[in-house]
Amino acid sequence: MAKTRRFRTPSERIDIRGMVKENHRIILELFHLYLGTPADSREAVAQQILDLLASHLEEETVLFQEIRKLGPHGQTPIEDAEVAHEEIKNKLRELQEAESDDDQSWDELFEDMMETARLHFVNEEQDLLPLIDDSLGS
């Protein structure tokens, strides 16, 4: 399970980029575990993914606020990431409200949400995370 980490004082250098990428990796590994688990045994893995993803999205909101303070060069990647966050959050809400008695429909919605998250992770790692390397002490 992923550990929650907090920002530290400027004198304590941390690898923010590495932490975010590690969270992405853990969530994607759990998704692959979900896909490899029999349909009737997926509930616990799915819940772990949903919990970690919701937590990760909240942590990134703080990161986005910090990047905004650095100036205008990161605005477009942040705006794109925030749009993706909203899309993922909407899909998380849909999953919570979905009928649990239709496993195939729920699985399709879950897999669609994870594909959206996966694409967001790729875009974030390529476009947003490089902006913070020097600026936030990574």
The domain of 102 spans: 16-131
Average pLDDT over residues 29-46: 92
Whether residue 102 is contained in a domain is answered as yes
Whether residue 96 is contained in a domain is answered as yes
So what's the pLDDT on residue 135?
Answer: 58
Map tokens 């390397």 to a residue. Answer: 133
Whether residue 3 is contained in a domain is answered as no
**Residue 3: pLDDT over 70:** no
Write out the two tokens for 9.
Answer: 């004082």
Whether residue 74 is contained in a domain is answered as yes
Q: Whole-model pTM?
A: 0.81
Write out the two tokens for 38.
Answer: 């029999």
**How many domains does the chain divide into?**
1
Whether residue 11 is contained in a domain is answered as no
* pLDDT tens digits, 116-135: 999 999 999 998 888 776 45
Whether residue 137 is contained in a domain is answered as no
Looking at residue 127, the DSSP 8-state letter turns out to be I
Q: How far is CA 74 from the centre of its chain?
A: 19
Rounded to 5 degrees, what angle do the CA atoms 111, 114, 120 make? Answer: 145
* pLDDT tens digits, 77-94: 888 889 999 999 999 999
